[in-house]
Amino acid sequence: MTMLMRTDPFRELDRWTQQLLGGSAAAGTWSRPNPMPMDAYRAGDDYVVAFDLPGVPQDAIELDVERNVLTVKAERRPAELPEGVEMQVAERPLGAFSRQLFLGDSLDAERIEAVYDAGVLTLRIPIAEQAKPRKIAITTTDNGQKQLT
């Protein structure tokens, strides 16, 4: 059963294009946005998704859920350099980043918890009650036949 699907149909094309055109930005310009790397795993009754967002302040991160689509947006701005300082190398990606995940019906999108620590945004998405495994009691009728309830 799929709990989570990521949408990034052009990820390989973006990587190839960035390699071909160069991944660094010239001083004073913004580089082309890159996808946010993530890990996703199940931990007990939660689905956990962790996004790497180093250098992004917490107030520059936005989370939205609409119709089981979770959207993470973040913006990394260039460092403000003192007057007279000339940038020599600018390889860190800057700009707006966005990632969308389709949440399966078995996840409870109403109770998502988000924590941001040390450049990692961690989301805990509870498994919906109706999707959790449950025991079904078996009863015996008067004539000795078993019946499911």
**HSE, side-chain direction, 13 A CA sphere, residue 135:** 3
Tell me the C-alpha distance between 37 and 16, whole Å: 16
Token digits of residue 59: 């107030």
Percent of the chain with pLDDT over 70: 70
Task: Name the residue ranges covered by the structural domains of the chain.
Answer: 4-80+91-148
**CATH architecture entry for 4-80+91-148:** Sandwich (2.60)
Indicate the pTM of the whole model: 0.66
Q: What are phi and psi of 70, to 5 degrees?
A: -95, 125
Counting runs of H as helices and runs of E as strands, what totals does the chain give? 1, 10
The 10s digit of each residue's pLDDT in 40-77 is 999 999 999 999 999 899 999 999 999 889 999 999 88
The 10s digit of each residue's pLDDT in 7-52 is 555 555 555 555 555 544 444 444 444 568 999 999 999 999 999 9
